[in-house]
Chain A
Amino acid sequence: MFQKKRVREALITTATYGILVIASLVALGPILWGLATSLKTSPGVVAVPPEWIPSPFTLENYRLVLLNSSLPRCFLNSLFVAFCGVTLTLGVACHAGYAAARFDFPGKNGILFMILATAMIPGISIMAPLYIVATKVGLLDTYWIQILIYSAWQVPSTVWLIRGFFESVPPDLEEAAMIDGCSRRRAFYQIILPIAQPGLAAAAILVFVYVWNDFLIGVAFTTSGTMRPMQVGLYLFIRDLGVEWGRFMAYTMIGLIPILILFGFLQKLFIQGLAAGATKG
């Protein structure tokens, strides 16, 4: 009886590890295959049978892509738009989030509802009207339109997230500062914001990844190579270049770098359940 139970336990443990190993291979397989391809020579890319370990190993694809493609420009475009988008979103959302957490004023619930309810509007439903408006006001094919749209779409979830952080800060801190003659505004900038830094960093990372990974706004609202973001550059690269898979995968891998750098933080946010509302469109 005891023996049988132990055998069963061993079987379950083996099955558990078996499932995890297979699932991990499936999860990483497509990425590893892309990485391997990016490190191959042209004959290596089309070799049959496919090589999982590139031999000979080369960085030529990376060199070509960095020196002779849309990548550097698109990479910087995406970085710039993401950086400005994060700044604008956080600047706007931290004030609204603070008002939501601390102030009581006429119309508060209505205003907050209006801001948060826009999270229910799917991006795809308003792409056409936004395009017409952007064209009319002359913002088509600019950084500004991308920054504005991303920020507006990220504000609701960011307000919600930041409000939670402010609510976890005890109000005694500001009250003490205000008794000492500090204004509400100054108490917010000099006491509360520095304390809420971890929360702001979390929000910033989520917005950054959203902007970095988005494709639709870029493809619809930019028309020239000088404005194009990374994901769109990637898409057009294969369309224009066709079968150069080695270079193409090098492009893809470079596009993953910022996400990889942030992955450690991101994972923590996912596990804490903070990233639940981080998708739109």
Chain B
Amino acid sequence: MFTAQNIHSRARSKRQWAKVAVPYSFVSAALLLVILVSFYPIFYALRLSLYETNYMTIGRFIGLGNFLRAALDLRVHNSILISLGYVFGSLVLVVPIGLGLALVLNRPIRFRGFFRTILIFPWIVSQTVTAMLWSWLLNPSFGPVNYVIAALGFSRVMFIGNPDLAMKTLVAANVWQTYPYAMILCLAALQTIPNELYEAARIDGASPRECFRHVTLPLISNVLMVVVIMCTLHYFNMVTLMYVLTGGGPVFRTETLSLKVFLEAFSHWDMSLASTLGIVIFAFNIFFSLLYIKLLRREALY
């Protein structure tokens, strides 16, 4: 009797222990990994941004000196403007193209799955490959685009080498690779709109344009905001496409802030400036992520 009780309580305490220990053991590896590879480096970046560095050795503490240096650096100003132009220029094209194609794909047509498959395709092509394919497509001597331009009687265009065209070319390549994201999100949103709403609007005498304006648009506005925020973050943070396609040139015309961070770190080995600008990018990301979370919360209320 006594022993039985003893065994019983021992078993219970073991179970109690397992109840606490098992959950922690389940999350520990994930926690350790993100602390080592994400948290620690971002704090390290903060620290680097407050010190002078020489290659990889940390020197004197200079407080906000690096931020001051960045704030007064004309090339940093240039990069910020270039980044904003790049983000804005891409969004202005990606959102209408994505929404437009989603509207077309949402119509009851034949081969819908076939077209959808083809139209998604660029999204899975890497930024490196996108840059390579576009630079070959737009090659001044042998590319088909320049062949057509020449055949129409114009002079051949150096798309990447021309300071006035490099950014437009970069945006075009980016739009080509990322419009499927906007398209898929919009298509998913369109498919959740019940047909009865359109029927009701039509019975009330609404034209197709009025249907779009007063039924479709309000119902997908939240998804459009999600597309805008996610694309903004993606475009603002990306490096590979410009690094491979233009390298930031000509004359820094395509040197976005994110590309500048990469070049400062891995070409000029100025780790403190790279970290300082990295923190600026991080702050920008937090701002947009909070906006995104707020938006999702609002959506959840409906």
A binding-site residues for B, Cβ under 8 Å:
13, 16-17, 19-20, 23-24, 26-31, 33-34, 37, 45-50, 52, 91-93, 95-96, 98-100, 103-105, 108, 111-112, 114-115, 118, 120-133, 135, 148-149, 151-153, 155-156, 159, 183-185, 209, 212-216, 219-220, 231, 234-235, 238, 245, 248-249, 252, 255-256, 259, 263, 266-267, 270-271, 273, 276, 279-281
Contacts and interface: CB of A to CB of B under 8 A. Distances in A.
B5 to A, nearest CB: 21
6 contacts: A19-B101, A112-B27, A114-B35, A129-B42, A156-B34, A259-B126
Nearest to B46: A129
Contact of B33 (A27, A148, A263): A148
A127 B265 contact: yes
B282 to A, nearest CB: 4
Contact of B239 (A45, A95, A124, A212): A124
Interface stretch (B130-138, B163-171, B209-217): B130-138
A121 B26 CA distance: 23
B27 A130 contact: no
Contacts, number: 269
A125 B176 contact: no
Given A34-B133, A127-B278, A209-B124, A23 B34 contact: no
A135 B122 contact: no
B172 to A, nearest CB: 10
A104 B105 CA distance: 44
Given A108-B23, A118-B34, A126 B184 contact: no
B22 A213 contact: no
A128 B133 contact: no
Given A122-B281, A245-B142, A103 B34 contact: no
Contacts of B118: 24, 27-28
Leading 5 A-B pairs by shortest Cβ distance: A152-B37, A213-B126, A125-B278, A96-B30, A129-B44
A114 B41 contact: no
A98 B28 CA distance: 12
Interface in B95-154: 100-101, 104-105, 107, 109, 115-130, 132-134, 136-137, 139, 141-144, 147, 151
B207 to A, nearest CB: 12
A130 B126 CA distance: 23
Contacts of B104: 16, 19-20
Interface stretch (B62-70, B195-203, B230-238): B230-238
Interface string B253-271: 0000010011011100001
Contacts of B278: 122, 124-128
Nearest to A17: B109
A93 B30 contact: yes
